């Protein structure tokens, strides 16, 4: 429920440049008390840069920032926290070698003295229970041992914990990107309760339905500018996509019209915990979906298939070269010290060789081809990979896999932080490559993406519990299989 005329935070004329890239170009933005503001736009539109300013992690090159009506000259992370502003960034920030409780203590220096560890554990456990009932996370778990979905749950819960400092505004940058539909629903329901209780929230999401259903007001960004802002009920999906710059209108129909010519066996795999003889079968030219609640064995099976491509593994047969598009790009995907071109070319070294050395020209040609084909937004492919937005980093990982000789492409929830326009382009690209005989195994937590698959295996507790053809594929059936008793 919107409260009267009080801005928690306001930016006027915000500008930010990164070399030749103008990330923000005179942006005006504000959030009122008791308001959930949805922020949408394609990758590279400037959303995350703007939120870094609100969180105090980036200083603007121009413009002003005010919190509760007071101009902030030396605004910083410490000042933001003091004023009750917190952020859950798209790239998760937990210390991987610390426990969940210890990570919570980092945000709450008042948890000091004898027994601080128990206090931190009780604090985060209570908040996890409140937001994500049945989460299965212990405060003693080491953060680096958790799946990316569970790390995201901890990061979100930590942002909402309270000790001595106030909490007025929480920025959620792609908070559901690694969560399954059930867990995402738990989080969004909590966000609405938080806002109705007088808190404020900024919700950034490429899942437009989440924004339309949960935001009070929506701001659309494009090319570093705000191009539209209005009450959420003034938008629908088509209006949002048009404001963002188009790129909708074909996905499910194109998938349904796809004719599959099944070829030779590419993958035969039995999950390690499977006891009833069910197995995953994938043939040349097929797009196979893996579904179910997050953390129920889908990623484990993809990694087992990836491993079996290079050495024999019990229960897994792989008959062609394999490439993996990682969903957790920071841990499993990108090489942080390398350029964009080097990150794209690493899976194609044999083709890029000139004698005993890698040819910089061939590497650049490969990267430039995929930059244009998949729309990687950068002025120079020799820039460091971290010069890209999160979504564009993910495009580089797609380019790495699709530009390689792999006949089997494994996709581990690969659309994390990717905008709707890019998703539709990737869907078309996957169908195009499948028509040429490539095989795709696609795990996703976004149910609508499964419309692109020829059939879908649903997982529960590390086992395949259903195999659904496209004609019987519905969200209800997936959820029913996910929560039903495993055979």
Angle between helices 148-159 and 181-196 (to 10 degrees): 10
Phi–psi pair at 14, nearest 5 degrees: -65, 130
Query: For the chain, which domains are there?
Result: 5-242 (3.40.50.300), 263-481 (3.40.50.300)
CB burial readout 118-149, b (16+ within 10 A) else e = ebbbebbbebbeebbeebebebebbbeebebb
Tell me how far the alpha carbon of residue 226 is from its chain's centroid.
23
Question: pLDDT of the chain along its 487 residues, tens only?
Answer: 334 457 899 999 999 987 767 889 899 999 999 999 999 987 778 888 899 999 999 888 999 999 998 999 889 999 999 999 999 987 778 999 999 999 999 888 888 888 899 999 999 999 999 999 999 999 999 998 998 889 999 999 999 998 878 899 999 998 988 888 889 999 999 999 999 999 999 999 888 889 999 999 999 998 889 999 999 999 998 888 888 876 554 445 555 555 666 689 999 999 988 888 899 999 999 999 998 877 788 999 999 999 998 888 888 999 999 999 987 787 788 898 999 999 999 999 988 988 889 999 999 999 999 999 888 888 899 999 988 887 788 889 999 999 999 999 999 988 876 777 778 888 888 999 999 999 999 998 877 888 899 999 999 888 899 898 888 877 778 777 777 654 3
Q: Is 283 helix (H, G, I), strand (E, B) or coil?
A: strand
Q: How far apart are CA 476 and CA 311, in angstroms?
A: 38
* Phi, psi angles (nearest 5°) of residue 63: 100, 180
> Which residues contact residue 474 at a Cβ distance below 8 angstroms, ignoring those fewer than 6 apart?
none
Q: Which residues pair with 282 in a beta bridge?
A: 267
Per the DSSP assignment, residues forming a β-bridge with 357 are: 354
Give the integer Cα–Cα distance in Å for 452 and 465.
20
Between the alpha carbon of residue 152 and those of residues 128, 149, 173, 230, 406, the distances in Å are: 11, 5, 11, 29, 31
Strand, coil or helix: what is 77? helix
Pairing mode, strands 21-32 and 7-18: antiparallel
Closest alpha carbon to 182 in 40, 294, 266: 294
Give the C-alpha separation, 90 to 86, whole Å: 13
pTM over 0.85? The answer is no
CA distance 348 to 366: 9
């Amino acid at each position: 429920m919107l409260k009267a005329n009080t801005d928690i935070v306001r930016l006027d004329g915000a500008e930010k440049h990164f070399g030749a890239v103008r990330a923000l170009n005179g942006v005006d933005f504000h959030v009122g008390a008791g308001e959930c503001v949805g922020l949408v736009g394609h990758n590279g539109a400037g959303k995350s840069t703007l939120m870094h300013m609100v969180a105090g992690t980036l200083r603007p090159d121009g413009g002003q920032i005010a919190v509760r009506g007071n101009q902030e000259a030396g605004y910083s992370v410490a000042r933001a926290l003091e004023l009750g502003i917190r952020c859950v960034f798209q790239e998760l920030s937990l210390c991987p070698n610390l426990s969940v409780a210890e990570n919570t203590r980092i945000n709450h220096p008042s948890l000091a003295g004898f027994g601080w560890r128990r206090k931190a554990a009780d604090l985060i456990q209570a908040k996890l229970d409140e937001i994500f009932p049945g989460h299965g996370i212990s405060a003693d778990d080491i953060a680096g041992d958790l799946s990316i979905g569970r790390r995201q749950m901890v990061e979100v819960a930590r942002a909402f914990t309270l000790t001595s400092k106030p909490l007025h505004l929480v920025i959620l940058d792609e908070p559901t990107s690694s969560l399954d539909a059930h867990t995402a629903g738990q989080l969004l329901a909590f966000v609405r309760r938080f806002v109705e209780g007088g808190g404020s929230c900024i919700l950034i999401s490429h899942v437009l339905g989440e924004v339309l259903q949960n935001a009070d007001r929506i701001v659309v960004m494009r090319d570093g500018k705000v191009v539209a802002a209005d009450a959420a009920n003034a938008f629908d999906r088509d209006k949002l996509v048009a404001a963002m710059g188009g790129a909708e209108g074909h996905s499910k129909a194109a998938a349904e019209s796809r004719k599959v010519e099944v070829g030779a066996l590419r993958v035969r795999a039995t999950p390690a915990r499977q006891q009833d003889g069910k197995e995953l079968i994938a043939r040349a030219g097929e797009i196979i979906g893996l579904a179910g609640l997050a953390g129920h064995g889908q990623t484990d099976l993809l990694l087992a298939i990836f491993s079996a491509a290079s050495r024999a593994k019990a229960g897994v047969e792989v008959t062609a070269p394999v490439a993996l598009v990682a969903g957790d790009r920071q841990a499993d995907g990108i090489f942080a010290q390398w350029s964009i071109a080097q990150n794209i070319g690493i899976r194609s070294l044999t083709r890029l060789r000139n004698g005993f050395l890698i040819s910089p020209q061939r590497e650049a040609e490969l990267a430039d081809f995929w930059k244009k084909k998949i729309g990687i937004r950068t002025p120079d492919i020799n820039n460091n990979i971290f010069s890209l937005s999160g979504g564009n980093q993910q495009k580089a990982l797609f380019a790495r896999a699709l530009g390689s000789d792999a006949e089997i492409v494994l996709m581990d929830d690969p659309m994390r932080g990717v905008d709707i326009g890019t998703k539709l382009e990737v869907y078309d690209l996957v169908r195009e490559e499948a028509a040429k005989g490539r095989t795709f195994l696609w795990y996703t937590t976004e149910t609508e993406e499964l419309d692109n698959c020829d059939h879908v295996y649903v997982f529960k507790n590390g086992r395949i519990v259903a195999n659904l053809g496209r004609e019987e594929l519905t969200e209800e059936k997936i959820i029913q299989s996910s929560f039903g008793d495993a055979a």
